[in-house]
A and B are shown apart, each in its own frame.
Chain A
Amino acid sequence: MDKFRMMFQFLQSNQESFMNGICGIMALASAQLYASFEFNCPCMPEYNYTYGIGVLVIPAFWFFLLGFVLNNNVSMLVEEWRRPTGQRGKDPTILRYMFISISQRSLIAPAVWISVTLMDGESFVCAYSVDLDVYQFGNATEHGLSEEELMRMLAKIPCKLIFDGQHIISREAATRYIQCVSQAFGWLFLLLITVIAFLIRAIRPCFTQAAFLKTKYWSHYVDIERKMFDETCTEHAKGFAKVCIQQYFESISGEMRSFHGHLRGDDSDDDDDDDEKHNNDEDKLLGIWAQDDMDKVLWNWHTCKPPLSLRKDGVSDDSNSFVNGNVSMNQHTFVNGDGYPSNTIQKKEWAVYYSKV
């Protein structure tokens, strides 16, 4: 029992810690992706803004979708959402809980990307360099450039190597200023999401704790039930396949047996051990003793596969059709033709099959 307990604790915490691990790996991957990404501002007034804001927003969105893709519980959520009601009512709070927990995990990697991008500042410099006020950073009071030329010069600020307006505006000062603004936005963003997460996690037990326990149990139950069903189906398929093949062999060997005549002799003279071993080996042969029998088995397996319908084993051929067929019977008692000796103690064993008929 102790081992059981430890195993289940490990599994349960393992599943959650597995999801948390995937979460953490994606966050690290997003930070690493940013570090290895070569930011290349186009330095042209028309495209700067699109590029800068695009680099900020699009990978975040992509990470969010990736989080959904990697999460196994998404298919479970959709299944539970779309199934017909059947005999079991649907609880919308469970669906909401599952959706929220999946979203929370998927939001971590995009948040890391956005904060790393904002802290680094390059995307903001690229996007907003054209909006700078020249007079605040200007070295000279008069610049003598037209609007368009001014914009083009400002757009070149993010690119160190091609900037040519050093006499008009100090590039480092402008870059520093925009980076500060970007970092301020980054810290504010982090503060905001931390406060929201704090409110949700730390304050929630004050409200609806009992309902929360209920939804947590039933959403976990839905997950486990799905796994149990798959497991039971797999075991059933194994049993089905095994019995089907056994009956196929026996059906062919049954034909063979009647065709070739009885080949097995009486083994009651041997020892017990030998007898058992002999019987086991013979059982494994399933009645196939000769080469052309085996050839027929193999041939028929391809040309004429048996139907997917197992015979009920152990009942005599007369009653077989009653058991397997469409006739419904209630409480009929069949008396065996052979009588029991009446002076000895009678052993009555009842084989009972239950049904809903």
Chain B
Amino acid sequence: MAAEVERNAGPNTRHLKLQGHVGFDSLPDQLVNKSVAQGFCFNILCVGETGLGKSTMMDTLFNTEFESDAAPHTLPGVKLSGKTYDLQESNVRLKLTVVDTVGFGDQINKADSYKSIVEYIDQQFENYLQEELKIKRAIHCYHDARIHACLYFIAPTGHSLKSLDLVTMKKLDSKVNIIPVIAKADTVSKGELHKFKIKIMSELVSNGVQIYQFPTDDETVAELNSTMNGHLPFAVVGSNEEVKIGNKTVRARQYPWGVVQVENESHCDFVKLREMLIRTNMEDLIEQTHARHYELYRRCRLEEMGFVDSHPDGKASSLQETYEAKRNAHMQQLQQKEDEMRQSFVVRVKEKEAELKQAEKELHEKFDSLKKQHAEEKRKLEHQQNKLKEEQDNFVKRKMIYEQEVLMAQQAAQSQTIKGKKKFHW
């Protein structure tokens, strides 16, 4: 049996023979010891209509009683509520998270029912991705809340899948490992069950729904897994009550017509479910979630954020180049916004300046015209003043002439008088 490393070994790898016992065959044990010391983590999502026995199924699967209240049918939307429990079996510790879809299938319009489920699953992927992308990260002690398995509870109508089931499973099959189970299978008789299972599987196939297939590549479990694949979907019955059968006390449901024993393989497929889900393939479910579903989510998300693995010209870009390119684009964007804002301000300032300049000009023009007016009036006034002055000067002259004439007249009068007097003297 060739291990992956042997298959992937390059041409330069020599295969050497050991001359004794070296001791590295303890490597798997070293790995196991580490895992056990770290503890395991498993998250199950239960999707199904209210009242199909999801919580009871969880109790039965893990052989304990998780505290859960029965949900009413009156919720307006689908809510997901998760509870985490620490379980231990021999030296193995398991951190189990059970997420229930409350209110699924109760609304009149169920078109959006699947949305909150998809959102929840994506949110867990997103949280993991954010942690993985951090510069300083603690990815190995990160509490992984990603959903590892989704148990889809199908109502035991006996006929076919409901359209809500098909729609929901189609939306979920690329995000999570879906394991469909027929709930409350004690209402379906053996013959009906057989037909029901075939109908369900064919409907899933024809609608392209990819449910989880138990892996058949490991020799030790391949045969078991492939047989089980043929029994899908498992018809299960859950019970919190115990009934005494013979000298044993077992989980069972007591009816007037008989007792349905949960762990009786001819009564229902519960044991198969438990075997596949927990005892054989739990690790594979975790692995698939991480390697397939998470990687797909991550790929889409990174592409959304604008990351590419290689340039258009075919050259692969390193992380540094990618970040630098993103950073440059980012800085450019910021710079552009800044420039735009400044630009808008410059325009406003210019506008305002022009406005104010215009107002100033008008003001000056107004006063210029007033000044001109004023100058005109002043000129007129001066002209009048000059005229007055002239007249006054003329008047003064006249006065002077008058004075002179008066003086002359006086003199003449005087001389006349003297003359007369003289004459009279003769």
Q: Decide whether A and B assemble into one complex.
A: no
